[in-house]
């Protein structure tokens, strides 16, 4: 892994945290593959705003194994090799068990697992194999969730998929360490993004912010800074970690 100008694939970079992640890597001189699933225009906005050169746009449906392979291949070709993979793309649709029909519950469960867990596993397989072939001491960082630990009663598949993502990261950390590839995960709580902006207003917003003793939620820049460090050469010894980023809103033992 070179000190500057790495090839970085950020999934789900059409806005929110993904956009902030792409911007953070580009600001340090890396070349970024900006991935989108369906929000192409948002991804193009991300791409246009990135400093530096060599960035590429990569579209693909991560819920389909063939789509995940195409995303990895397009990023590899466009960047001339991927040295950092950030698994950020995620589905998070409400599906309370007792008020969601069986058919909808089953459909949403499968989609959450496909995008939030299976896709990172397949992308990791594809990207890590090429890192090993090239002798690259690369990095994989997974964006998990506080919900993996505290439970998500209205989003059970989301919580389960993120718990699986954390476990996947630890398994890959052990498997890939002999090749100099470090793998880690972050577990954010609430983040101030456009996707949840409606929940951060009024009484619900007050309750959410009160979960942290800081009385607020995270900014995308705070989470991006942690991901940037975990992807650095200096963070190799953090491989296998799941880093809590929730403002002391949930403390696990």
pLDDT tens-digit profile of 185-204?
Answer: 999 999 999 888 888 999 99
Q: What is the average pLDDT across 161-165? A: 98
Sheet holding 84-87, edge to edge: 56-59, 31-36, 7-10, 84-87, 139-143, 182-188, 242-245
Instruction: Render 101-160 in DSSP notation, one character per residue.
Output: -HHHHHHHHHHHHIIIIIHHHHHHHHHHHHHHHHT---EEEEE--THHHH--TT-HHHHH
Q: Decide if pLDDT at 3 tops 80.
A: no
CA–CA distance, 225 with 107 (Å, rounded to integer): 35
Estimate the crossing angle of helix 119-134 against helix 156-176, to 10 degrees: 20
Catalytic residue list: 158
Q: Decide if pLDDT at 1 tops 70.
A: no
Q: What is the average pLDDT across 108-121? A: 98
Structural element, H or E, at residue 85: strand 84-87
CA–CA distance, 36 with 58 (Å, rounded to integer): 7
Structure-token pair, residue 69:
């392979």
pLDDT for the residue 4:
55
SS (H, E, C) 15-36: CHHHHHHHHHHHHCCCEEEEEE
Q: Decide if pLDDT at 80 tops 50.
A: yes
Domains, the chain, ordered by start: 7-245 (3.40.50.720)
What Å distances lie between residue 108 and 64, 66, 86, 152, 217, CA to CA?
A: 14, 20, 23, 14, 27
CA–CA distance, 120 with 118 (Å, rounded to integer): 6
Structure-token pair, residue 66:
């063939």
Which residues are 245's β-sheet partners?
188
pLDDT for the residue 205:
95
pLDDT tens-digit profile of 193-245?
Answer: 988 888 899 999 999 999 999 999 999 999 999 999 999 999 999 999 999 99
pLDDT for the residue 84:
98
253: pLDDT confidence band, cut at 50, 70 and 90?
confident
Neighbouring CB atoms inside 10 A of 153's CB total: 10
In this structure, is the dihedral angle defined by the CA atoms of residues 144, 146, 150 and 154, taken in order, positive or negative?
Answer: negative
pLDDT for the residue 31:
98
pLDDT tens-digit profile of 119-143?
Answer: 999 999 999 999 999 999 999 999 9
- Enter the pTM of the model: 0.96
From the list 65, 58, 67, 55, the residue with the least C-alpha distance to 29 is 55
CA–CA distance, 75 with 69 (Å, rounded to integer): 10
Tokens 């989470």, located at residue: 223
Instruction: Give the SS3 label for residue 80.
Output: coil
Q: Decide if pLDDT at 2 tops 80.
A: no
Q: Which residues contact 102 (CB under 8 A, 6 or more apart)?
A: none
């Amino acid at each position: 892994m070179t000190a500057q100008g790495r090839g970085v694939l950020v999934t789900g970079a059409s806005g929110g945290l993904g956009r902030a992640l792409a911007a953070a890597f580009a600001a340090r001189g890396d070349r970024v593959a900006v991935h989108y699933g369906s929000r192409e225009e948002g991804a193009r906005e991300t791409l246009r705003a990135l400093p530096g050169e060599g960035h590429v746009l990569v579209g693909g449906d991560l819920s389909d194994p063939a789509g995940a392979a195409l995303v990895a291949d397009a990023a590899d070709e466009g960047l001339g090799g991927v040295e950092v993979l950030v698994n950020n793309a995620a589905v998070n649709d409400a599906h309370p068990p007792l008020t969601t029909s069986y058919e909808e519950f089953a459909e949403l469960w499968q989609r959450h697992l496909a995008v939030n867990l299976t896709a990172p596993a397949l992308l990791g397989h594809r990207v890590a194999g090429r890192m090993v072939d090239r002798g690259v001491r690369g990095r994989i960082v997974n964006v998990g969730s506080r919900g993996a630990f505290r439970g998500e009663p209205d989003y059970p598949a989301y919580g389960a998929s993120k718990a699986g993502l954390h476990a996947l990261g630890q398994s890959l950390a052990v498997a890939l360490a002999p090749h100099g590839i470090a793998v880690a995960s972050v577990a954010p709580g609430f983040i101030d993004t456009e996707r949840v902006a409606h929940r951060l207003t009024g009484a619900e917003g007050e309750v959410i912010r009160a979960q942290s003793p800081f009385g607020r939620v995270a900014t995308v820049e705070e989470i991006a800074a942690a991901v940037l460090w975990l992807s650095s050469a200096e963070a190799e010894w953090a491989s296998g970690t799941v880093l809590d980023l929730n403002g002391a809103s949930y403390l696990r033992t």
